[in-house]
Structure 1
């Protein structure tokens, strides 16, 4: 690897580390803002006292600092030197100012500890650390009825994901579950998507209840990650074209999908049930998996389906293929040449699918 490539990779790693530090800094800043202000006010009152005593009473720096400390702390020690009338008036106002500052600091401390802000900050910091470790994950925007259904299937299939939810009440419910990665924020904001790891994500699903928000999320996500696969919910069919123009790869209109599903149940009920078992139920004896071909030998040594010997080596069966042009081929020919970017659909039981994945891992390493 050349020095230029090494420098490029080192620069990218440095930028990633800087972004991760910034994400965690935002969390700390959100909760410690009151402490920052309290510290600034205390520092201001202290400096005011030091400067005032030096100018009014002609104290030295050490004497002025000492007098300020015993005045603000109200310990009642003897004055460094007898105060003039002007010095007494200044000291009185300094004590009054300190009472307000001290009350504000105590209020922040009470809120931070008793109201649970300390616990929430630790939880958010821990969540963000776990989110930062994700790569190739899915970002789910919205945890409503449809988002909750998506999460159920993600958990069944062990798909890594993070939820973005704007509602504080819903975010509290997610927190109560205890096993979900989430962010409490607005998915239409760039910084929230950044905290969710948009640049390392594989896909994004937006199920927000407003089509305009889904359009904005799709547009923003596409700009931040051009290779991201975006799936959006649409309340109205009129929004489908706008969502695709904004960058969504797939737009799901719930009425259309529900109507199609119900109509299919009338004509082919057993086929629908079988497909649901293949797609969703991890406890089923058979499974339908989609395998992507991102790493293949060069063009001088083309690889065909027959050469993989999938049936002989794993027991699984190839039932479909998605070509580079987006066409779907059912039961493709064994002589089909596999190319980078194709998708293969494999049917088999759990052990057979695992054997095929091991087989494909060995092919990639060759």
Structure 2
């Protein structure tokens, strides 16, 4: 993308970037979703029913112990069944009036015990309604807290097959689910991400205000798993403008668009169609090679490719003679293969790309 086109793209977004970002937190409920622990509806309803029965039982005991202060309208002595009946109609605010407190002690007990139990009983019965009414406020508070503290996280654009696989690899490599933010405009994809415990943002990732909501300005990395190459280019441009330091990794379908992704600011570009084609070709001749590649790309089992800092004892030595199987040396942001004359000796500040034992290997 040339400088003129880039400038036009930038001007087209001026004045719109803050439109959604500056909205109050309560207006973002439904756009940003913070993961919560899943609660069983059956268990929640059962808990409320038990609390209601407990309140009813306590009230009936209080009334029965002071049954001499009550009149049932017939002048007959109160039984426990009468006490239970009175508690039921009182706590449910039905109040038929056929049993009433007549003594001062019974009325005092009604004030101190029965009335608070009535309030508790009603709260338990309408707890679900209250929870729904307060959910929006709770989400707004959680969104505010999340926006204030989100830093050095990973943003995933697109939660299809590629996005889900990339996220699984990131989490398997030690990143907590709460440090991953998924941006997508497909509600089904967002629901799947939320079920995986990820923070989600609903919207078009090519728009700067949507990426701002995802905390792109403070993100450590961005993974673009869009379905279209032009979308990947636009997302890269938008993200690079918001965060010049973030590591941007993108998947595209056509190799001819690789240079566009590089010019737009992507650090790494994966051509998914060509990569899959190579593996298919290799599998026809040496299927075991594909198995090894899959093993290396799965951090949780077998072997995995990782990157680490250089140990002081390794400085000055050859990358081929370290304790690990080193594949390359990262120096000044550039990767050099083992055997390259530029990295015949390890220097301070280098990082080693090596094969390590997987978590369950």
Residue 161 of structure 1: how far off its partner (Å): 2.0
**Given the superposition, is the C-alpha separation of residues 121 and 210 from structure 1 closer, same or farther in structure 2, using an over 3 Å criterion?**
farther
Q: Following the alignment from structure 1 to structure 2, what is the Cα–Cα distance between the partners of residues 289 and 279?
A: 10
1:49 aligned partner: none
Q: Following the alignment from structure 1 to structure 2, what is the Cα–Cα distance between the partners of residues 117 and 24?
A: 25
Structure with larger RCO (C-alpha < 8 A, sep 6+): 2
Kindly report which structure 2 residues correspond to 1:168-247, keeping only aligned pairs within 5 A, or say none: 168-175=187-194, 177=195, 179-247=197-265
1:148-194: per-residue Cα shift (whole Å, max 9, x none)? Answer: 2212222222334211112233323333x151122222212222222
1:345 aligns with 2:353: yes
Residue 131 of structure 1: how far off its partner (Å): 6.1
Structure 2 residues without counterparts, runs of 5 or longer = 1-19, 31-128
1:115-161: per-residue Cα shift (whole Å, max 9, x none)? Answer: 95752553464356346544332211111221122122222223342
1:322 aligned to 315, 327, 330, which one? 330
Matched position secondary structure for 1:336:
coil
1:167 aligns with 2:186: yes
Kindly report which structure 2 residues correspond to 1:281-360, keeping only aligned pairs within 5 A, or say none: 281-284=299-302, 286-292=303-309, 303-305=315-317, 311=323, 316-324=324-332, 326-330=334-338, 336-340=345-349, 342-349=350-357
1:27 aligned partner: 25
TM-score normalised by length of structure 2: 0.55
Matched position secondary structure for 1:322:
strand
Contact 1:138 1:202 in 2 (8 A): yes
Q: Following the alignment from structure 1 to structure 2, what is the Cα–Cα distance between the partners of residues 200 and 148?
A: 22
Q: Following the alignment from structure 1 to structure 2, what is the Cα–Cα distance between the partners of residues 343 and 128?
A: 37
Contact 2:21 2:210 in 1 (8 A): no
Contact 2:155 2:219 in 1 (8 A): yes
Matched position secondary structure for 2:334:
coil
Residue 213 of structure 1: how far off its partner (Å): 2.2
TM-score normalised by length of structure 1: 0.54
Q: Following the alignment from structure 2 to structure 1, what is the Cα–Cα distance between the partners of residues 29 and 215?
A: 21
Contact 1:132 1:197 in 2 (8 A): no
Residue 219 of structure 1: how far off its partner (Å): 0.5
Q: Following the alignment from structure 2 to structure 1, what is the Cα–Cα distance between the partners of residues 132 and 22?
A: 19
1:309-328: per-residue Cα shift (whole Å, max 9, x none)? Answer: 953xxxx4434323447352
**Given the superposition, is the C-alpha separation of residues 292 and 162 from structure 1 closer, same or farther in structure 2, using an over 3 Å criterion?**
farther
Residue 221 of structure 1: how far off its partner (Å): 0.9
Count of residue correspondences = 238
Q: Following the alignment from structure 1 to structure 2, what is the Cα–Cα distance between the partners of residues 325 and 25?
A: 38
2:4 aligned partner: none
